[in-house]
Amino acid sequence: MTAISHRIIAFADRWPKLLALLLGAVSATGFAPLNLWPLTLLAFAGWMALVARGPRGWRALGVGWAFGVGHFTIGLNWIATAFTYQAAMPAWLGWVAVVLLSLYLAVYPALAAWGAWLLSGRVAPAKSAGSHVPPDTAAGDMTPTPPPFAGATFSFILSFAALWTLTEWLRSWVFTGFAWNPLAAILSSTMIPNLALPTIGTYGLSAIIVILAAWTGFTLLWLANRKNWHQPKSGTWVGLSFLVIFVLPLMAVFLFPSLIPANPTENDGTPITVVQPNVGQQDKWEGDKADANFAKLARLTAPKSDTPRLILWPEAAIPDYLETGYPSVYYDRSPAEARGRLTSLMNAGDVMLLGALKLELARDGSVVGARNAVMTVHADGTLGPRYDKAHLVPYGEYLPMRPLLSAIGLSRLAPGDIDFWPGPGPHTLDLGRFGKAGLQICYEIIFSGQVVDRTHRPDFIFNPSNDAWFGGWGPPQHLAQARLRAIEEGLPVIRATPTGISAVIDADGRVLDSLPMHTAGRIDTFIPKPHAPTLFARYGNALPVGFALLLLAAAIAFRRRGR
């Protein structure tokens, strides 16, 4: 091995957690907006090699935790921007929140690393004779080694992939869940997800990415020892590795899009108007700007033809209450007047879906809670079915442990002292001639397997959102995850946001039309056709969890065979 290799190994053995932290930070560059997914593969390969070299399980746990801290701190940097919109909090507190959240989320990679080390045993180079790898690599031993997928190494890789999948799935629901940026999202800008998501879902694809990263890393380590080049069949191994590491990913990026048939928006489909007013978060809740904000929405919504259409506005598009029965102090204008402003923008036969608020009253008539809702407004001013957001954002839509946190001066990032209440979960709204709509408000769309009422399958998913406080990285990451949901469920996804990225996504995950960030505009198009229910749409996360368990069983079998 080269002197550089020796120095890297020496640094890794002396500062494993620091190197893991740096590798975790590099791994986050694979997500949008950078999309440097080859770096993610290499970073994961390096991290897995660090875990494999660990002499004890506790070191594997620490290395996994350090990697997770770097991975989530960089990938979730947009959360810091959200705190800049809360006047009661200093801006630097946003980065404290990012780090604290990352310290918690890093527990999941730590558990994956620790579990893989325990299940497969120590697979690092050992100084004792009889190991399956060089007895003392750091000392320069040039003994030829078996190919990377041999004995305990194969067991380690499979168990690592399985446990990463299971911990990602756990992360999606433990403590209400925070499923942002699953590993599969690094490939959302390619068509690779189309090969796996309809069957094993997002978390199953994450397992495949871990295996690909491991193949990359362990092959490079094997090839670094020149003595291996002269082993029998080494040419076959090198050629196969080159195929897996380089050729297949490039084919998936450049060839598969041409193999998947186009799914254009047919002119006989459902006509829609998606409105993006470019109303920033700093202006959204300013009372004196409410009329100007509505004027932006109105100008972009005005009909261009007499054809009935489905009008789609963003989350919390208006501050008005559209329902009657609330205390008069909450009304700036009557519900009839508020609905009249909307119907004045509509053709006869139009239907509008828009984000609005609903209040919850106690028996004495006092307001005790609110709902982040999507209302249906018909052209005659009547209200149709409503959807209430189920996955609420802690600190954004409700304050956990309110008596304690409010006592020390903390408050929600969004204005208001009334907490939002969660809705019952996914259900389908029947919009008559405009089909059946599944609703997912804002970050609800990131929860794989939890976005559709499977007993009443919709024709499309409407995802109104407010990404205005997500910084520069949050909106493209949000869009990437919406694309994964479209492929998993075989359903188009329509996104409407105040500042971008609004988009029309077909059932293959392709963005057919979109409005860039910080741009006012509208999209006039037709809803793409849905596919037949995918296997994942039928069985949900039972498939990736089952896939992970199969990988675990294979890992145990290979470990026993190696012994």
Question: Contact, 351 vs 432, CB < 8 A?
Answer: yes
Instruction: Please provide residue 183's backbone torsions phi and psi, each rounded to the nearest 5 degrees.
Output: -60, -35
- Which alpha helices (H) appear in 302-401, and where do they start and end? 335-343
Query: Is pLDDT above 80 for 123?
Result: no
Fold of 271-528: Nitrilase/N-carbamoyl-D-aminoacid amidohydrolase (3.60.110)
Q: Which residue do the tokens 């890297």 mark?
A: 8
Instruction: Tell me what pLDDT residue 522 has.
Output: 96
Determine the distance from the C-alpha atom of residue 305 to the mean position of all C-alpha atoms in its chain, rounded to a whole number. 37
Single pTM value for the model: 0.87
Please compute the mean of the pLDDT values over residues 468-493 and round it to a whole number. Answer: 94
Residues forming beta bridges with residue 525, ordered by sequence position:
272
Query: What residue ranges do the domains of the chain occupy?
Result: 3-260+542-562, 271-528
The rounded distance, in Å, linking the Cα atoms of 183 and 67 is 14
Q: Which two tokens stand for residue 440?
A: 């997912």
The rounded distance, in Å, linking the Cα atoms of 125 and 13 is 12
> Strand order in 310-312's β-sheet?
387-388, 367-378, 351-361, 310-312, 271-276, 521-526
Instruction: Tell me what pLDDT residue 563 has.
Output: 54
| DSSP annotation string for 279-292 | --HHHHT-GGGHHH
Q: Which two tokens stand for residue 385?
A: 């079915």
Residues 354-388 pLDDT 10s:
999 999 998 888 888 899 999 999 999 999 999 99
The rounded distance, in Å, linking the Cα atoms of 504 and 511 is 6
Residues 405-414 pLDDT 10s:
554 455 555 5
- For the CA atoms of 112, 118, 124, 129, what is the dihedral angle to 10 degrees? -170
Instruction: Tell me what pLDDT residue 239 has.
Output: 54
Q: Which residue do the tokens 């780090």 mark?
A: 99
Residues 270-328 pLDDT 10s:
899 999 999 887 666 666 788 889 999 999 998 878 889 999 999 988 989 999 989 88
Q: Which two tokens stand for residue 365?
A: 């008539």
The rounded distance, in Å, linking the Cα atoms of 435 and 512 is 20
Going by pLDDT thresholds of 50, 70 and 90, the confidence category of residue 121 is low
Residues 146-191 pLDDT 10s:
444 455 678 899 999 999 999 999 999 998 899 999 999 999 887 7
